[in-house]
Amino acid sequence: MSGDGPRTVRAGGRTVEIHRPGKVLFPGDGGAGEYTKGDLADYHLAVAPYMLPPLRDRPLMLDRRPDGVGGPSFMQKNTPDHYPDWITRADVAKEGGTVTHTVCDSAAALLYLVDQASITLHRWLSRTTRTGHPDRLVFDLDPAVDDFETVREAARLLGELLDELKLPSALMTTGSRGLHVIVPLTGRHDFDEVRAFAREVADTLAGAHPDRLTTAARKRDRGDRLYLDVQRNAYAQTAVAPCTVRALPGAPVAVPISWDQLDDPALHARRWTVADAVEQVRTDPWAGLLSRGRSLVPARRRLAGLR
């Protein structure tokens, strides 16, 4: 029932109230699992040790669904005044002013955002200390239709190219239709440099496989080809955070995976949900892959040689 009283949860030395924990946020239509706000609180408390490191020091944009995934939604950038003082904030420059983003750096903050019906957390690719210099580069593999085999094939091709460029990379399901391929950076390059490099990589790959891959931004120009999207590599753009829940039936989760798992025939973008994602994350599929950022200077030279 949605009229139940608040539930008190202890997390990291703080007490957080989850109001209406029985409220159904994912109704379970079409055979998908039904999940309540309390279920999401349990999931985030369990996944916090793995979810918080990729979130710390990064401005967030929040996908909020106060009435559940079937109701109205809105994207929240500015932190509301009613948020408690212990929720970290970051003032980030925008044209003509600033935006006060929420920063999630504790399990208590995660639970508070759940209580606010923040379903999906979208993070910046740069940190609050150097917002103009990303330490992550993201390729978003976006299929023309919900066909994961085309995503699997594109990921293999991109992974091979990044290996040739001697850049480490990590894979993550998006919880929607595709995969993200993530490259750790030193944070010395600005967004324009990073996006230009990502575009060169994507153009090189699409040029080698023009019947299967494209960098065309307009959908009508893509046909049935997979879109190699590099547009997230820009100032104030975001990407879904590792371990975050997507506002889709069944509560699928964006989950880190290993490159070996790409060959698993059972793999698809919505393979894991709040019911089993923690088990996958505990295996440490990235195993330190993103712990040491790389400069793009040597990779640019190698890419120029290939092109």
pLDDT digits (tens, 9 = 90+) for 66-80: 999 999 999 999 999
- Average pLDDT on 235-261 reads 97
Residue with tokens 């009613």: 82
Evaluate whether residue 123 is within a structural domain: yes
The residues, any chain, with a CB within 8 Å of residue 107's CB and separated by 6 or more, are 11, 12, 44, 45, 48, 52
> What's the predicted TM-score (pTM) here?
0.95
Evaluate whether residue 74 is within a structural domain: yes
Given a cut of 80, whether residue 3 has pLDDT beyond it is: no
Rounded CA separation 2/19 (Å): 10
Residue 259: count other Cβ atoms within 10 Å of its Cβ. Answer: 17
Given a cut of 80, whether residue 90 has pLDDT beyond it is: yes
Evaluate whether residue 234 is within a structural domain: no
- Average pLDDT on 174-202 reads 98
Residue 2: its pLDDT value, please? 45
Identify the burial level of 266 via C-beta atoms within 10 angstroms of its C-beta, where 0-12 means exposed, 13-18 middle and 19 or more buried: exposed
Residue 30: its pLDDT value, please? 77
Evaluate whether residue 208 is within a structural domain: no
Given a cut of 80, whether residue 47 has pLDDT beyond it is: yes
Q: Quote the crossing angle between the two packed helices 107-115 and 37-55, to the nearest 10°.
A: 140
Evaluate whether residue 222 is within a structural domain: no
Q: Please give the residue range of the domain that contains residue 59.
A: 7-132
Structural domains of the chain, count: 1
For the domain that residue 62 is a member of, what is the CATH number? 3.90.920.10
Q: 1 falls in which pLDDT band (50, 70, 90)?
A: very low
pLDDT in tens, 104-152: 999 999 999 999 999 999 999 999 999 999 999 999 999 999 999 999 9
Evaluate whether residue 237 is within a structural domain: no
Residue 110: its pLDDT value, please? 98
Evaluate whether residue 85 is within a structural domain: yes
Evaluate whether residue 263 is within a structural domain: no
pLDDT in tens, 255-299: 999 999 999 999 999 999 999 999 999 999 999 999 899 999 999
Cβ–Cβ < 8 Å for 222, 152:
no
Cβ–Cβ < 8 Å for 150, 269:
no
Among residues 209, 186, 208, 189, the alpha carbon closest in space to that of 197 is found at: 189
Token pair of 186 as six digits? 């030193």
Residue 238: its pLDDT value, please? 98
Given a cut of 60, whether residue 10 has pLDDT beyond it is: yes
Which residue(s) pair with 136 in the sheet?
A: 184
